[in-house]
Amino acid sequence: MTSRKTSSGYFAVPLCRLAVATSLSALAACGGGGDTGNSSNVNNASETGTSGAKGGSIPSSASAFISAIFLQTGGTGYVSFVSSKNTSSQYTGVASEQLSISTASSTVFNAQTSEVIGQYRATLARQTIVTAAGDFSTLGLGNDIQMFHQDLTGFTFGLGGSADVFRATLTSSDVSGQSIAGVATDADSGVAHALAADTVAMPGGSIRYSTQITASAPVLVVQSGAVASSQTLAQLQQQFGGTVATLGDVSYLTGMNENAPASAYAQLNVGVYAATYAMAGQSVPITLLAGTDIAFNQIASSFIVQELKSHAAEL
């Protein structure tokens, strides 16, 4: 279950499908740590978001940018790739993940995962988004993105029911004619591994997107799906220095010395977890899809899928 924490406790709402980070474990409850969960391929669709929250309305005069890329029927496409490994660190499969909206007026995204080669198994990771308005626990983005405002370079969004505390900025580049081995990638490098010896050129019209996610308000991204620290915030502060502050109802530690294993720590209930604190304009460790900031249009992604299938034995 995904939970939203308020001053009176946790309230369960449905989970979404996640691919926000690689090689992290799923968790069954927001305050726990260390439990893992594997999910097979998922085809999710939602117009209201898994939290039930809706994004802001998008003026028709400003919807062309999002529609041109993300519209499920008629858009050019936004597709990332993701690979999985077994306990011996051997690649087991590669999948594609597409982010889309069903209509031009949609403010909530749909995420669809399709296995390409091998046997892909997703590894899920719980994160808690802490804002001044509250805490929002999630298994990731995809169907959990609520879009608010957009312009010609990207859009602002909330996650798991939060306000629009994030901004996605998309930068496109034409990779037509470039070697596929130098273009295709994923967070765990399974795609690059399979296509390492492939020198074929990308077809005309191939577009690669680089997407930067920044905070638009103070925010903590807490790795609440990881194993909790054995130390308290006070003990960590004594060991690594830094300053303890609060955001919403969550205490956190930042400004530690370079020996600290994480840039920040946050206390959720009785657990202390590694976290990242960001002010407006600073980068945050989340992605729209598949744990990578790289995506491709339909022309490029379809060609990459074709080449991956011809190199399946090399995974």
Give me the residue spans of the domains in the chain: 38-125+139-217+282-314
Give the C-alpha separation, 246 to 252, whole Å.
6
* Least confident piece of the model among 4-18, 60-74, 104-118, 270-284: 4-18
Spatial CA neighbour of 188 closest among 113, 83, 288, 114: 83
Which tokens is 261 given?
């294993």
- Is residue 11 scored above 80 in pLDDT? no
Which tokens is 46 given?
């939602």
Give the C-alpha separation, 163 to 69, whole Å.
24
Q: Which strands, in side-by-side order, build the sheet including 166-174?
A: 110-118, 91-100, 79-85, 294-296, 207-215, 166-174, 154-159, 145-150
- pTM surpassing 0.85? no
- Is residue 9 scored above 80 in pLDDT? no
